């Protein structure tokens, strides 16, 4: 396993960037994530919260994420139909991603904001545009999924 943040292979450690006392740091959250985000696609949605937070999302299965540190420091926020609990740093407010609150709506996936992953070249990602502003919330059809029944 490599100890860097560019997710280029299965099981690479990822450091999440947060703002701590005005300084960008990667010490607050670390995780192992697979598959690599660069294998994309990465979702760019125009709904209100994605636009405001600058989200570029991937939707790995929860079982493909191993939190090494910081998970207990995340705070959540829900709005509207409260289907998604948006996760952010309880100290600085950096928006990390989200998790479904509905056991029948992609309960086994977690949304991760790739803009918060250290070392990911956002310009090199394969973006998929989603018109979330005018559509009901749904994950991309090719997102890894394990639907709860």
Place 86 in a pLDDT band, splitting at 50, 70 and 90: confident
| Strand arrangement of the beta sheet that strand 65-69 belongs to | 12-20, 23-33, 65-69
Residue 21 has what pLDDT?
A: 40
Say yes or no: domain 12-130 is CATH 1.10.3720.10: no
Tens of pLDDT along 31-69? 777 777 777 789 999 988 889 888 999 888 888 887 777
Tens of pLDDT along 101-137? 988 888 888 898 988 887 788 898 999 999 988 875 5
Domain ranges of the chain: 12-130
Residue 46 has what pLDDT?
A: 92
Cβ neighbours of residue 45 closer than 8 Å, sequence gap 6 or more: 51, 55, 57, 129, 130, 131, 132
Average pLDDT across the chain, whole number: 73
Of 19-28, 76-85, 122-131, 136-145, which range is least confident? 19-28
Beta bridge partners of 65: 33
């Amino acid at each position: 396993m490599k100890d860097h943040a560019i997710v280029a292979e299965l099981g690479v450690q990822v450091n999440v960037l947060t703002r701590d006392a005005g300084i960008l740091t990667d010490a607050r959250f670390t995780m192992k994530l697979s598959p690599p985000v660069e294998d994309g696609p990465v979702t760019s949605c125009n709904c209100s919260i994605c636009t405001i937070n600058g989200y570029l999302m991937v939707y790995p299965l929860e079982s493909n994420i191993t939190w090494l540190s910081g998970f207990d420091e995340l705070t959540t926020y829900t709005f509207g139909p409260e289907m998604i609990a948006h996760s952010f740093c309880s100290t600085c407010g950096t928006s990390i991603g989200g998790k479904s609150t509905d056991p029948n709506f992609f309960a086994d996936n977690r949304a991760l904001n790739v803009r918060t992953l250290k070392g990911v070249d956002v310009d090199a990602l394969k973006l998929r545009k989603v018109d979330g502003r005018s559509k009901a919330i749904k994950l991309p059809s090719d997102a890894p999924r394990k639907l709860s029944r």
